[in-house]
Structures are given as structure tokens and as C-alpha cells.
Amino acid sequence: MNPRKILYWLVWLIAASTLVSGVVQMVYPSFVLGLVAAARTPSTNHFFGIVGMFMALFGGMLLHALYAPVKQPVAIFWATLQKFGASTAVAIGVERNVFGRIALAIAAFDFASGILVGWYWMGTKTGKELD
């Protein structure tokens, strides 16, 4: 399998996991807050659910861009920024004791995802698209 196709499927997995985890966070914010060792109050549940909605939307947008019949570099670019933004926000949350240290694994995953999605985006801009 060529490296570009491997990258495509890695980005597909990132998009799908972002969509699914966003839906879970939107529907069950208290559960996810418990996983990251954060306070669970009506306010944190509400706002964490909103964050989950945006995760689901960006994951869905990235999947849509991957399946589109024409290149979607703008959507892929913004999905890259979402991954880096999420990574930064979670890391700041850990530093401020909002989340437990376990959340650093999520920040690291989002950062690595941002690199992979950004790498894929560079290929859509340069014409190195899949065969």
C-alpha cells in the first residue's frame, strides 16, 4: 500500500474517532469528565457537552471532506487547527488543574492527530492526492 493511502486511512480513523468521541461527550459529558478526572457539575456537564458537539461537527466535516468527489483543502486545514487547538486547550486544562494528568494522553493524541491531518492537508494543496 502506498504511503499516501496509509495516511488517508489514518486521517479517516482520526475523523471517525473525533466524530464518535464527540457524540459520546455530547450525550454523556459526565462520563467523559469522570475519565479525565474533572469536576462534574451541571455547568461543566453542559459546557463539556457543547464542546462534544463541536468535536462531532469537526469529525464529521473531516470525514465528509475525505469522501468528497473534489479536494476539500479548506475543510482539512480547519480540522488540523481544531486538533492543535484541542491539544492546547486540554494541556492548559491539566496545567490549571481542571483535568487530571490522564488528560495529557488526550492532548498528545490530538497533537499527533493535528500533525497527521496537517500532513494530509499539505498533500491536498500540492496535488499529491490519492490515485
**Other C-beta atoms lying within 10 Å of the C-beta of residue 99:** 23
Residue 84 CA: distances (Å) to CA of 34, 45, 70, 78, 89: 23, 23, 25, 10, 9
Which pLDDT score, from 0 to 100, does residue 124 have?
A: 86
pTM: 0.92
- Cα–Cα distance measured from residue 106 to residue 38, given in angstroms and rounded to the nearest whole number: 14
pLDDT in tens, the chain (131 residues): 788 899 999 999 999 999 999 999 999 999 999 999 999 999 999 999 999 999 999 999 999 999 999 999 999 999 999 999 999 999 999 999 999 999 999 999 999 999 999 999 998 876 555 54
Which pLDDT score, from 0 to 100, does residue 43 have?
A: 96
Contact, 94 vs 56, CB < 8 A?
no
